[in-house]
Amino acid sequence: MTFFEKLALFNINNFKFGVLANSKISCIINQLKSNFAKKDIILMMKTTCFDKQESKNKVIFRHFKESLDEELRCTIQNSVFYDKNRIPLITEDIFSEENEDYYINNFGVFISDSNGQAVGYGQIILSDGFYTIVNLGILADYRQQGYGELLVKYLVEFCHNNSIKDIYIRVEKKNTKALSLYKKIGFNEYEPIVTMHKNIDSL
């Protein structure tokens, strides 16, 4: 039984992964003609810029606490990234992540409004040697109010305060709003990543 046939047993209809657009792996996959469809171009963006954050908005930043905030993080991420084809995050997933090599304790952050209501979350992981902002999102009712920009700036500032000078973030090339925001903050395009897709139903 092939790897993809095993995935189908679990009702997983699509398989995808990302590779650097100009990497050896990308070239090998193209040469093999393995029927992977190229769908999204994701940009890895990098910043070394740091301007101390000053905001007129009254927001609260609170760092993720292990064995306390797993459920809150699940609630926020499942709302932010909701998709009918996405398997909802559960607390066991978070506990499992906390044991992964890429996970960094105390580098997950909630942003709350002036009333203490958590409205978003983001974190830094160490992925393949890159300190990368991931799982970044603001609840729908609180978007377009500056929370996303404040959260990204806080994460960058926190990294710099911990002697991390190079920070990365990934964004889909077609997501022009996010691209504009990240460039405004000081991120620049670093490396394109191609997302490869394979429809398992068609096997």
Condensed to tens digits (0 to 9), the pLDDT of residues 25-46 reads: 455 545 545 555 555 567 778 8
Phi, psi of 77 (to 5 degrees): -65, -35
Contact predicate 38/173, CB 8 Å: no
- d(CA 176, CA 153) in angstroms, rounded, equals 19
Contact predicate 47/167, CB 8 Å: yes
What are the sequence ranges of the domains in the chain?
3-38+195-202, 49-165
Question: What is the 8-class DSSP label of residue 56?
Answer: S
Contact predicate 159/46, CB 8 Å: no
Q: Quickly state the pLDDT bin for 56 (edges 50, 70, 90).
A: low
Mean pLDDT of 169-174: 88
Phi, psi of 55 (to 5 degrees): -135, 140
- For the cut 70, the answer to whether the pLDDT of residue 94 exceeds it is yes
pLDDT of residue 33: 52
pLDDT of residue 8: 45
Question: What is the 8-class DSSP label of residue 105?
Answer: T
Question: 146 vs 56, which has greater pLDDT?
Answer: 146
Condensed to tens digits (0 to 9), the pLDDT of residues 131-162 reads: 999 999 999 999 999 999 999 999 999 999 99
Give the mean pLDDT of the chain. Answer: 82
- For the cut 50, the answer to whether the pLDDT of residue 6 exceeds it is no
What token pair was written down for 13? 């209809």
Residues ≥6 apart with Cβ < 8 Å to 127: 102, 134
> What is the homologous superfamily of the domain 49-165 according to CATH?
Gcn5-related N-acetyltransferase (GNAT) (3.40.630.30)
Q: Pick from 193, 203, 201: which is nearest to 38 by CA? A: 193
Evaluated on CA atoms 39, 195, 156, 151, the torsion sign reads positive
Question: 53 vs 16, which has greater pLDDT?
Answer: 53
pLDDT of residue 53: 63
HSE at residue 165, side-chain half, CA atoms within 13 A, is 0
Helix (H) or strand (E) holding 81, with range, is none
